[in-house]
Amino acid sequence: MFVDLVEIEVEAGDGGNGVVSFHRAKNIAKGGPDGGDGGRGGDVAFKVDDNLMTLMDLKYRRKYAAERGADGSGGQKTGKDGKAVIVRVPPGTTIYDTQDRENLLFDLVDDGQQFVAVKGGRGGKGNVHFKSPTNQAPREATPGRQGEKKTLLLELRLIADVGLVGYPNAGKSTTLAVTSQAKPKIASYPFTTLAPNLGIVELGNYKSFRMADIPGIIEGASRGKGLGLSFLRHIMRTRVLLFILDASEPNPGEALSLLQKELAGFDWRLNEKPYVVALNKIDLVPPDRIDEMKISFGPDCITTSGVTKAGIDELKRALGEKLELYD
């Protein structure tokens, strides 16, 4: 199952208490104060793990609480710090406070990157700290501070350079499959792809880019039709869009403007992104019609076939060039 949105509770550990204690020894009648401090509570942190692709694990466990710090003890012993909890998340996880959804707390991108979401409470002070010239036997110690608590919204936005956009059945997954090692499901019915796929497209000379395939979009998707537009969040951070149009359909030009309209309905910034158009399925189109379409779409349009692989190398090159141009 692909999970890209979860709400969870995180609770850092409270600090341990400082204690009141006095030094006791055989030949000392009244020893001085020796109550130690409490340990620090554990933090709850998030850490990027490149091997994860979804937030699924977090769907089944909604609460993460770290350990409390131990209380101090006599002999000026500080209590042990509470153990932290580290929650592993896929790259591209963005974290918001549910109380303030506009305010991005953190954007976790690189493998190993870590973010402390809630801090453990400080330990309290033992009575050893309260000794003064006028008070040699303080009976004062402070309790540990409370650990922070938050409810967080985690949203996954896949990290890719190029995002595939198109109507269902246009050949998006096929294009990903013939340009990368990815093996997405391909079938001759709409809405075959139900969750995003990622592939790495090799350009040679050690150059490559990441391409994301998402479910198809239909007219009215911004009003919830089909699978809706929520998957578009996965192409929000791509640098270039690749529109896949079915060239064997009567009006691919209209398909492009409808797609762009739906994108604008989700977030106008999507339409500001540079793009390349692939007129796909040209193996089903007579040559003179192909020439006609090439002229009307202009230079940023490549004619392709996922079946004969015509135009696929040219498409990879065009995407590579666009990415370099908008680096």
C-alpha distances out from residue 32 to 21, 23, 72, 113, 288, Å: 9, 5, 16, 47, 99
User: Which residue number, 90 or 196, has a Cβ lying nearer to Mg ion?
Assistant: 196
172 binds ligand GTP (CB under 6 A): yes
173 binds Mg ion (CB under 5 A): yes
User: Which residue number, 85 or 247, has a Cβ lying nearer to ligand GTP?
Assistant: 247
User: Which residue number, 84 or 165, has a Cβ lying nearer to Mg ion?
Assistant: 165
User: Which residue number, 78 or 174, has a Cβ lying nearer to Mg ion?
Assistant: 174
What is the footprint of Mg ion within residues 188-207 (CB under 5 A)? Answer: 192-193
169 binds ligand GTP (CB under 6 A): yes
Contact 250, 293 (CB under 8 A): no
Please give the angle made by the CA atoms of 155, 159 and 160, to the nearest 5 degrees: 140
180 binds Mg ion (CB under 5 A): no
Using the rule CB under 5 A, give the single segment among 8-16, 106-114, 164-172, 282-290 that binds Mg ion.
164-172
User: Which residue number, 141 or 214, has a Cβ lying nearer to ligand GTP?
Assistant: 214
User: Which residue number, 119 or 316, has a Cβ lying nearer to ligand GTP?
Assistant: 316
229 makes contact, choosing from ligand GTP, Mg ion, none, with CB < 5 to 8 Å by partner type, with none
174 binds Mg ion (CB under 5 A): no
Please give the angle made by the CA atoms of 191, 226 and 156, to the nearest 5 degrees: 80
User: Which residue number, 39 or 166, has a Cβ lying nearer to ligand GTP?
Assistant: 166
Which residue sits closest to ligand GTP, CB atoms considered?
A: 216
Angle formed by the axes of helices 287-297 and 252-266, nearest 10°: 40
In whole angstroms, what is the distance from residue 303 CA to residue 246 CA? 10
51 binds ligand GTP (CB under 6 A): no
Nearest-approach distance from CB 160 to ligand GTP, in angstroms: 16
User: Which residue number, 45 or 319, has a Cβ lying nearer to ligand GTP?
Assistant: 319
Using the rule CB under 6 A, give the single segment among 130-138, 169-177, 290-298, 311-319 that binds ligand GTP.
169-177
258 binds ligand GTP (CB under 6 A): no
Radius of gyration of the chain (CA): 29
Please, which residues bridge with residue 198 across strands?
Answer: 212
Please, which residues bridge with residue 212 across strands?
Answer: 163, 198
Nearest-approach distance from CB 315 to ligand GTP, in angstroms: 11
User: Applying CB under 6 A, which of residues 93, 127, 193, 197 lies at the interface with ligand GTP?
Assistant: 193
Nearest-approach distance from CB 51 to ligand GTP, in angstroms: 25
306 binds ligand GTP (CB under 6 A): yes
216 binds ligand GTP (CB under 6 A): yes
User: Applying CB under 6 A, which of residues 109, 153, 168, 265 lies at the interface with ligand GTP?
Assistant: 168
Footprint on this chain of ligand GTP (rule: CB under 6 A): 166, 168-174, 186-188, 190-193, 215-216, 280-281, 283-284, 305-307
